Amino acid sequence: MECVAAVWAVVGLEKSLHRRFIVRVGRCWASDDVTRNVYDRSRRSASPYPSPSARGGRSLSSAWRASALVLLCAGTLAGQERWSWHSIDFGLFETGSAEWIVHTRLRTRQGELQQSRWGSILNFSPHSRVTLIGGYYYGRDEDTREEWRSFHRLFGGAETRVRQWGAATLAARGLAERFWGGGRPAFTRLRNRIRLTMDGRIRPYLSGEWFWDTQGYLAGRYSVGLRWRCCRWASVEIGYLYDARSAQLGPPRHGVVTQLRLDPRRGRRQEKGSRQP
């Protein structure tokens, strides 16, 4: 429930500050009828809140928030083990079509550290709609005997923008991953994801991702949340994830997912979505 309160506090604060700024500017400059008319028109066009004629947009926003609240509360009440995934991405280098990201992530179970990983991701965009993805992770995790073991992961694939409806964008991603190390046999895993996002400083997202190996279906992960672009070079993401694992992997998992994205070079560019696997 703390996560729900935090997300809604951020949204409410941003709206309140924006509304107060518009009102104060209007009082300072709307000193005559002509200026007041200009101010009224600019307020209607610049305000992020829909007019009565745009109730469809308001309904869509309400639906996003309601779905996020329902899923977050459902995870809290499910009675399963509490998991969390926390990652940090730092944009180390970027050109017009390529970017190099340094990545780290921690995973906890019942509040205790269960996995950590470090690595880098290389993205290359040969086309405005397509991005090629490759990278490597090294990490350590705790097995069922509460012993720590190392692992290596090499991955590659592509992401494409499938369709765009106004402020909404649907993207699809496919990756192949190779795991080895830790005394376990090496294996290959395939994963496919679809992700729906909205434009704006505070943008909701909804995604589903499915996993396979050579033996068949492994799991499906479903998540919903919000991404807040706090400044031009940083963004924070928080959401709820439900991991519907197959019987061979164990019971379903639910938890909180957070991501901090830092990129000082992005001050002059448009923010990109999360492509980390």
Domain boundaries, the chain: 1-49, 82-268
Residues 82-268, CATH architecture: Beta Barrel (2.40)
Rounded CA separation 202/224 (Å): 13
State the pLDDT at residue 182.
85
Report whether 75 contacts 255 (CB < 8 A).
yes
State the pLDDT at residue 254.
93
Segment among 24-33, 91-100, 252-261, 266-275 with least mean pLDDT: 24-33
Burial 162-186 (b: 16+ CB within 10 A, else e): eeeeeeebebebebebebeeeeeee
Rounded CA separation 168/195 (Å): 10
Report whether 123 contacts 275 (CB < 8 A).
yes
For residue 188, pLDDT beyond 60: yes
For residue 256, pLDDT beyond 50: yes
Segment among 48-57, 85-94, 143-152, 194-203 with least mean pLDDT: 48-57
For residue 252, pLDDT beyond 80: yes
pLDDT band for 64, please (50, 70, 90 cuts): low
For residue 75, pLDDT beyond 70: no
For residue 6, pLDDT beyond 80: no
pLDDT digits (tens, 9 = 90+) for 231-246: 989 999 999 999 999 9
State the pLDDT at residue 79.
53
State the pLDDT at residue 117.
97
pLDDT digits (tens, 9 = 90+) for 7-23: 444 444 444 444 444 44
Please give the C-alpha separations between residue 234 and each of 83, 129, 271, in angstroms, as whole numbers: 25, 23, 9
For residue 77, pLDDT beyond 90: no
pLDDT digits (tens, 9 = 90+) for 105-142: 999 998 899 999 999 999 999 999 999 999 999 999 98
Rounded CA separation 64/265 (Å): 31
For residue 40, pLDDT beyond 50: no
